[in-house]
Structure formats: structure tokens, C-alpha cells
A and B are shown apart, each in its own frame.
Chain A
Amino acid sequence: MRWIQSVAREVVGLFVDDGSFAGAILAWIMVCITLLPRVAAGARWAGLALFAGLAAILIESVLRFSRRTK
């Protein structure tokens, strides 16, 4: 059964190695799927807002890691 635990750990590791990074992505997705269809139904900037948030999360996480290694 140890290999099942190992596979389960590996599967979780596919998505999460930095908890705050994964948490921020999920939180932004939740915000977007909850709010965007209401406030920006059919608006072309809605997709841009989704992307901009995700890009900002990526940039912040990479720069934070970079600063931490200094």
C-alpha cells in the first residue's frame, strides 16, 4: 500500500509545491468564476482580467522566490 500513498503524494505534488502560489491561483479562479459572469457578462475584458490576475500571481511568486534566495 506504500506505493498508493506515494502515487497519491505525487499526484498532489503535480499541482502544489508552493502552497501560497497554488492557493492564490485557486482563489483568483474562484473570484473570476463568481464575479466575472455577473459584472462582465459578454465583455471582452473579462478574459483579460482572468489572465492578468494569473500573470500577476506568477510574477509575484517568482520574484518572491528570487528575493528569498538572496
Chain B
Amino acid sequence: MVIGLGQLEATRMRTTLVAAFLASLVECVEALTVVLAVGSVRGWPSALAGAAAGLGVLAAIVAAVGPALTRIPLHLVQLVIGAMILLFGLRWLRKAILRAAGLIALHNEAAAFAKEAAELRGAGVARGWDKLAFAATFHITILEGTEVVFIVIALGAGGSGLMLTASLGAVAALLAIVALGFALHRPLARVPENTLKFVVGVLLSAFGTFWVGEGAGIAWPRDDLAIPVLMTAYLAIALCLVPICRRGARAVSTEKVEG
């Protein structure tokens, strides 16, 4: 079967777009939980101003770092970014496997919202401009946004046009979460966060492996088609590990009940 270069490029763009969207979605959900908690307890003007200021700082970072990356040789960018994305992606995948197996607790947005709201209620009432609300939403936007920026740079550094594709994926995730936040006015507790992290962990691990290989001068069989093969392989390993770990965890809890 002969696959054209255009088709390969389109596959790569689609994969980058989906990976950036899903990974950014997870981070945006976490930021939204805090922004909603701050806005509902302390008032919306200061909360939204903090989030907007955070987005402004992040946009400045992207504007500064993005063009600088194009001046570094591609194989070096792929090697360094590939190594970073591997650390990031395999860490997410490891954690998602352990969460799916019940070995570590799932992230609970409703509980995070309640905790944040309780802390803010106990902090006293501000007159006029609420510095605490501004600082809280600025802080969370910078924290989660830095992760989104990294994801965009990591996914977009692999070739020409991918940075724009990855950015579009991240912006789409942000707009989707902002729209849902406005519509629901409560944390998105039903977003299957661990499933998203599982999928994104697989995607990032595959991209990272491919780019480290490219950066090191390794020849992949069938070039870009190695990426979906790597994704399938990581997914298969992860899906095999979940029941193995779950059996171990169940055996432990049974022993504890019996003991």
C-alpha cells in the first residue's frame, strides 16, 4: 500500500491537534475549578481579571519562546523536546495506569472546588479590589497554563506548521472549557480526567519516543507511520498493566479485610 506524503502530513497534523486539545483540556478543567471557586466566593471581576492577566503573561512567554525555537537546529529541538515530552508523557501514563488500577486516588474536581471555596471563605472579606481573588486565579492560570504552553511547544516542535496546529488544539480546549464554565457555573466533575490523561500519556509517549529517535538520527521504519505503531504499542502495554496492578491491589485489600 502506497501512502502519499500529503496523507502522512495530514495524519501528523490531526494527531497533533487531537493530542494538544485533549492534553490542554485536562489542564483547563483544573484551572476552571479554581477560577469558579474564587469567582463564586470572592466575586467575579477580580477573579476574571486574575485569569486574564495570567493568560496575558502566558501569551507573552509563547511569543518570546516560539520564534526562538525556529532558530535552533531541528534535530536538537526534537532531541531536547522529545526527551522532555517523554518524561512528561510517561509520567502521565504511569500515573493514569496506577489510578485506573486503583492504586492511587482519582482526581476529584468537585472535592477540589469545595476545598478551594472553603479556604477562600475563611480568608475574610475584601472591600473593592480583591487582591486574594486576583492572585489565586492569576496563580492557577500561570500554573496550569505553563503546562499547556509546554504541551503546545512539545507537540508543535516536530515540524513546520505543527506549532500552529498544536496552538489551535490548545485554544479550542480553552474555548470549550470557558464555554462550559459559563454555561454550567460549577466544576466539570464528569470529565473523565483519568481517561484523558491515559490517552494523552499514550500520545505524548509515542511522540516523545519518535522525536528522540529522529533527533538521535535513528531511522524509523516507514517514517511518520511509526507514530501510530508506537501509540498502539504503548496503549497495549498500559492496558495490560492495569488489570495486573488491579489484581495485586484487590489481593492486598482482601488480605487487609481478612487480617
Q: Which A residues form the contact surface with B (CB < 8 A)? A: 3, 6-7, 10-11, 14-18, 21-22, 25-26, 29, 32-33, 36-37, 40-44, 46-47, 50-51, 54-55, 57-59, 61-63, 65-67, 69-70
Contacts and interface: CB of A to CB of B under 8 A. Distances in A.
A50 B217 CA distance: 12
B239 to A, nearest CB: 12
A15 to B, nearest CB: 4
B150 interface: yes
B95 A54 contact: no
A66 B84 contact: no
B179 interface: no
Given A50-B218, A62-B241, A10 B146 contact: yes
Given A22-B87, A26-B83, A55 B219 contact: no
Interface in B134-163: 135, 138-139, 142-143, 146-147, 150
Given A16-B87, A22-B91, A65-B103, A46 B213 contact: yes
B94 A61 contact: yes
B44 interface: no
B205 A15 contact: no
A54 B205 contact: yes
Most buried by A among B103, B213, B221, B245: B213
B143 A62 contact: no
A29 B91 contact: no
B215 interface: yes
Interface residues of B, number: 46
B126 to A, nearest CB: 19
Given A3-B139, A16-B87, A66 B101 contact: yes
Contact of B98 (A37, A43, A50, A62): A62
A15 B98 contact: no
B139 A37 contact: no
Interface string B173-203: 0000000000000000000000000000000
Please provide the 5 A-B residue pairs with the shortest distance between their CB atoms, ordered closest to farther.
A15-B87, A33-B216, A66-B245, A46-B218, A37-B217
A33 B212 contact: yes
A62 B143 CA distance: 27
A50 to B, nearest CB: 5
A25 B220 contact: no
14 contacts: A15-B87, A25-B83, A25-B86, A29-B86, A29-B212, A32-B216, A32-B218, A41-B217, A47-B213, A54-B205, A57-B90, A65-B98, A66-B103, A67-B248
B91 A17 contact: yes
A7 B142 contact: yes
B226 interface: yes
Contacts of B29: none
Contacts of B143: 6-7, 10
